[in-house]
């Protein structure tokens, strides 16, 4: 009888630990649903460069030919391959098209050059729209960029 209680107790503890672990970490494929706009406004969005969108940073980048397969970069001849932000190396370089911020007086760099400058990440929703029922009724091209939130780096100045 005592042995049965010990086995039962061990099973209960193992089940509780397993359930707690499952609750604390949802599978990577499981969607948690849309993020409420109020939460985005309160918390902000961290960009690919590791800082909140709209934060002015100094970047070091290489100007590289566009070999990206991303549809949103299809018309770009070159990209800024950003390797460091505010003097700290990124774990992985981030590619962005060269975009001047409004009213910025910055010349376009050339492929093969180094680029050092200041700017900020910005973001917006763009892409092919779908109807609420999921059907594409032909009002927009089906082969376009998938609708989502995309970021860009806006250059303010270069050194």
Q: Average pLDDT of the chain?
A: 80
Beta strands 78-85 and 99-100, pairing class = unpaired
pLDDT of 26: 45
8-state DSSP, 52: B
Q: Residue 29 has what pLDDT?
A: 60
Q: What is the C-alpha R_g of the chain?
A: 23
1 vs 144: CA distance, rounded Å: 68
| Tens digit of each residue's pLDDT (9 = 90 or more) over 14-66 | 444 343 444 444 445 667 888 899 999 999 999 999 999 999 999 999 999 99
Cβ–Cβ contacts within 10 Å for residue 127, how many?
15
User: What secondary structure letter does DSSP report for 73?
Assistant: G
pLDDT at res. 54: 96
> 104-141 pLDDT, tens per residue?
999 999 999 999 999 999 999 888 777 666 665 555 55
Q: What is this structure's pTM? A: 0.70
Q: In angstroms, what CA-CA distances link 83 with 11, 12, 49, 104, 154?
A: 51, 50, 9, 22, 16
Q: Is the pLDDT of residue 86 over 70?
A: yes
> CB–CB of 56/86 below 8 Å?
no
Alpha helices in 25-84 (DSSP H): 37-43
């Amino acid at each position: 009888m005592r042995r049965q209680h010990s086995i039962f107790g061990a099973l209960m503890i193992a089940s509780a630990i397993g359930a707690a672990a499952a609750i604390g970490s949802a599978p990577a494929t499981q969607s948690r649903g849309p993020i409420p706009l109020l939460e985005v406004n309160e918390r902000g969005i961290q960009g690919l460069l590791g800082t909140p969108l709209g934060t002015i940073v100094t970047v070091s980048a290489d100007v590289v030919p566009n070999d990206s397969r991303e549809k949103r970069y299809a018309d770009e001849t070159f990209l800024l391959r950003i390797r460091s932000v505010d003097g700290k190396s990124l774990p992985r370089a981030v590619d962005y098209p060269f975009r001047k911020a409004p009213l910025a007086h910055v010349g376009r760099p050339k492929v093969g050059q180094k680029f050092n400058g200041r700017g900020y990440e910005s973001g917006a929703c763009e892409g092919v729209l779908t109807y609420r029922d999921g059907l594409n009724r032909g009002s927009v091209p089906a082969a376009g960029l998938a609708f989502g939130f995309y970021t860009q780096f806006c250059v303010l100045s270069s050194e």
